[in-house]
A and B are shown apart, each in its own frame.
Chain A
Amino acid sequence: MKIAKNQRVLNNLSKMVLSLLLIGLLSQNSLYGQGEALYKAKCASCHQIEKNGTGPMLKGARQRWMDAGEGDLIVEWVQNNAALRNSGKSKRAAAVYKEYGGSVMQIFADITPDQVNAILDFADAPPVAAPAGGPQGADASDPNAVDAEEEGGISTVWWLLAVLFIVVILSVSGVRRQLKHATEETTPNNSLSYWEEFKILAWKNRAISGVLGLVLTIAILVLVFQRLGSINLMEDYQPSQPIAFPHSQHAGVNGIDCKYCHNSVEKSKSAGLPTVNVCMNCHKQINGKDAAQQEQIAKIYAAAGWDPNIKPAGAYTGKSKPIVWNKVHVLPDHVYFNHSQHVVAGKINCTQCHGDMKQMEETAKVWPVEELNKVEGNIALTKPTLTMGWCIECHGKKEVTIGDGSNAYYDEIHQRLKKNKKLYQQYLNDGKITANELGGWECAKCHY
């Protein structure tokens, strides 16, 4: 909840910054505004302002033409670059064409010299980018890190104390025993070992030691079974990942649909991890606002074989290498789970099992069931995430729409269900069909 609060504050802040910027923009002269509008409408798909893209960056473009001694030709170039190139009167035109490997610029015959100048004015003095997003990650992760450290420190201190106390108790009792033996010279039990003395003591107080023994046995049994029961419980499991991928930025702020990156979710058993070319669809342009982001995005570039330093605007080198992600949701081979079946036929939202990733600033984790229950629209469950009890519970609660002709397999099941009197009566009583009534509780549906 702390994170949500932080985000709200940040959102408000960024809104304020945006509105300030807007006011600033409005107060500028109209020609500047026209330049911006024109730039966005006509140039932005190929030219960025401060970075070479498909075409060269526009900032300083006029200066570069002036440096080449052809400052007055840039208007002609923008209006009809092919004509200028073919006329042979401009060296700069030929050079730019060659530098960008012969990719052809569109012809803008309808643009006036004033408009060209307005665009170039805008390009030379673009608005200052809002410093958003930078401290977000650091702010949220810092307190957690401190917490974890403190916890670790405390537990080791306790262990050390425990060892110390045991040593002290044993040595004191040893000294006490020696003293006792020294004073009671007449006792015949002088040669008794610790174990024999303990047995005598236990026999003397057999009522107490019996009860203690019973309690100890039960406690050990309970602990053992608890430990056995927690084997393979993976709630909160969050392995480290090679790239610090913030889901909140991609799916949240930038509004990218889950299916864009996990694009086999409707077609295949596995939802799919995006291949690097999918990352590069955006990251060819986006290379990070600060050093921390740039470091992470450089890893994508290394994987994709993209070198942003190749002139003019970066290029693929053909030397790629795979990114080794750590698997988060591990299901054993003896249970069959199919994403497409659940998402397409079952119409289950991603959030039901994976939580609200739009809020999550890190890569991914196995969401505990309590957190999943808080997500709006989720069916509330009680058993731990990714256990069989959890699956079965949901199969007993999730209502299924069948018989609407959208899925032939479920239509067939629908026909058969109508003949099952018991189920049909139950349907008449509660008015709903759940996954288990279609056979979602049969062993062989998932284990085969």
Chain B
Amino acid sequence: MKKSLITWIGALSSAAVLMSSCASDPDSPGLEYMPDMYRSPAIEAYVDYGEVRARIDETKKVKLTAMTPPQFSVPYYGKDSALVDMMLPYRRLPNQLMKSTHGFYGERLSAADEYTLASADIKNPVMLNEKVLEDGKKLYASMCQHCHGEKGDGNGPMVTSGAYSGVPNYMEEPRMKLSNGQMFYSIYYGKGMMGAHRSLLNKKEIWTLVHYVRSMQYKDYLTAGMVSDTTQKK
């Protein structure tokens, strides 16, 4: 009798332990129906390969699946030679300072002040038309507006909320006289406090943005035709 009571208590307590171990792990999405169909054998972006079928491999947990392409690789952009030309690697290099200010490690750096040299690049390779300005407006809204403001006056919500300061006004003299090439350079590699935006925007998109910023600075930018050098226009 005594023995059976102890067995009962033992069985009950082990059942309780089992039950409580069923309480879900907050970091696990839960049971899977067919675990072998859940994770692709080919590497997919943002999938944790550190745990496959309950086997945990810590080294794979911190392996990046989102990688930067190998250096000097050129993406394929079809057969349109103008587009391909535009998308070829940017010939201006970041200058040496940018190694520690913008984190450009393992890259070719230039000893010269390439930003000043970029003032010679006056041609915007994207043909200007209404569609380009429309695309530019969309890109500007998602990529620039939070700091530079809807009107380009440097009063975006980031600045008005007091989180960030020191965003320049596009409508002022030095910025209005910048060449297209310098604008491109600033967006591509960053300038001052602004970081490089080349990981977010491809070269065509940056040139589109340059068009759009010009159209904010000069109201008759579209109608005045393909005026690439606005310094002469002023």
On whether the two chains bind one another, the answer is yes
- Using a CB–CB cutoff of 8 Å, the interface residues on chain A facing chain B are 41, 44-48, 53-54, 101-104, 106, 129-130, 132, 159, 163, 166-167, 170-171, 174, 178, 231-234, 237-240, 253-260, 263, 268-270, 272-273, 275, 277-278, 280-282, 284-286, 304-306, 310, 315-318, 321-322, 324, 326-327, 330, 332-334
How many residues does chain B have at the interface if contact means C-beta atoms less than 8 Å apart? 68
Which of A132, A240, A285 is B27 in contact with, Cβ under 8 Å? A240
Please judge, given known A-B contacts A253-B157, A332-B32, whether A316 and B97 are in contact too, CB under 8 Å.
Answer: no
Q: Residue-by-residue, is B114-155 near A (CB-CB < 8 Å gives 1, otherwise 0)? A: 000000000000000000000000000111011100000000
Please judge, given known A-B contacts A239-B26, A285-B166, A306-B103, whether A278 and B37 are in contact too, CB under 8 Å.
Answer: no
Give complex CA distance A278, B198 in Å.
Answer: 10
Please state if A304 and B103 are interface contacts (CB–CB under 8 Å): yes
Q: Residue-by-residue, is B82-118 near A (CB-CB < 8 Å gives 1, otherwise 0)? A: 0000000000000001011111010000000100000
Please judge, given known A-B contacts A129-B162, A315-B101, whether A254 and B146 are in contact too, CB under 8 Å.
Answer: yes
Q: Residue-by-residue, is B1-18 near A (CB-CB < 8 Å gives 1, otherwise 0)? A: 100010011001100100
Please judge, given known A-B contacts A239-B26, A255-B146, A333-B37, whether A171 and B161 are in contact too, CB under 8 Å.
Answer: no
Give complex CA distance A356, B13 in Å.
Answer: 45
Please judge, given known A-B contacts A101-B97, A254-B158, A333-B44, whether A259 and B195 are in contact too, CB under 8 Å.
Answer: no
B32 to chain A, nearest CB (A): 6
Interface centre among A130, A234, A254, A305, by most B CB within 10 Å?
A254
Question: Does chain A have a CB within 8 A of B196?
Answer: yes
Please state if A278 and B163 are interface contacts (CB–CB under 8 Å): no
Which of B20, B39, B163, B190 is A333 in contact with, Cβ under 8 Å? B39
Please state if B102 and A170 are interface contacts (CB–CB under 8 Å): no
Q: Residue-by-residue, is B187-211 near A (CB-CB < 8 Å gives 1, otherwise 0)? A: 0001011111101100000000000
Question: Does chain A have a CB within 8 A of B30?
Answer: yes
B27 to chain A, nearest CB (A): 4
B46 to chain A, nearest CB (A): 6
Give complex CA distance A333, B16 in Å.
Answer: 35
- Chain A residues closer than 8 Å to B113, beta-carbon distance: 104
CB-nearest residue of chain B to A317: B100
Which of B37, B145, B147, B169 is A41 in contact with, Cβ under 8 Å? B169
Which of A44, A163, A171, A317 is B165 in contact with, Cβ under 8 Å? A44
Please state if B29 and A330 are interface contacts (CB–CB under 8 Å): yes
- Chain A residues closer than 8 Å to B101, beta-carbon distance: 54, 101, 315-316
Interface centre among B97, B100, B196, by most A CB within 10 Å?
B100
CB-nearest residue of chain B to A253: B161
Please judge, given known A-B contacts A45-B192, A240-B26, whether A273 and B102 are in contact too, CB under 8 Å.
Answer: no
A153 to chain B, nearest CB (A): 14
- 14 new A-B contacts, CB < 8 A, other than A232-B32, A317-B100, are A46-B166, A54-B192, A103-B97, A132-B162, A159-B20, A232-B31, A238-B26, A253-B163, A255-B156, A258-B142, A263-B143, A310-B100, A316-B102, A324-B62
Please judge, given known A-B contacts A101-B97, A259-B142, A326-B27, whether A163 and B162 are in contact too, CB under 8 Å.
Answer: no
CB-nearest residue of chain B to A284: B193
Please state if B103 and A277 are interface contacts (CB–CB under 8 Å): yes
Please judge, given known A-B contacts A253-B157, A316-B100, A322-B62, whether A174 and B1 are in contact too, CB under 8 Å.
Answer: yes
Which of A47, A166, A270, A277 is B196 in contact with, Cβ under 8 Å? A277
- Chain A residues closer than 8 Å to B5, beta-carbon distance: 170-171, 174
Give complex CA distance A306, B13 in Å.
Answer: 53
> B residues 168-194 with Cβ under 8 Å of A?
168-169, 172, 174, 190, 192-194
Please state if B31 and A270 are interface contacts (CB–CB under 8 Å): no
- Chain B residues closer than 8 Å to A46, beta-carbon distance: 166, 192-193
- Chain B residues closer than 8 Å to A238, beta-carbon distance: 26
Give complex CA distance A318, B104 in Å.
Answer: 8
Give complex CA distance A278, B147 in Å.
Answer: 14
Please judge, given known A-B contacts A53-B166, A253-B157, whether A163 and B195 are in contact too, CB under 8 Å.
Answer: no
- Chain A residues closer than 8 Å to B45, beta-carbon distance: 268-270, 272
- Chain B residues closer than 8 Å to A318, beta-carbon distance: 103, 105
Question: Does chain A have a CB within 8 A of B226?
Answer: no
Please judge, given known A-B contacts A232-B29, A332-B32, A333-B37, whether A54 and B193 are in contact too, CB under 8 Å.
Answer: yes
Interface centre among A166, A260, A263, A326, by most B CB within 10 Å?
A260
Please judge, given known A-B contacts A167-B9, A174-B5, A324-B61, whether A273 and B193 are in contact too, CB under 8 Å.
Answer: no
- Chain A residues closer than 8 Å to B145, beta-carbon distance: 255, 257
Question: Does chain A have a CB within 8 A of B40?
Answer: yes
Give complex CA distance A243, B77 in Å.
Answer: 37
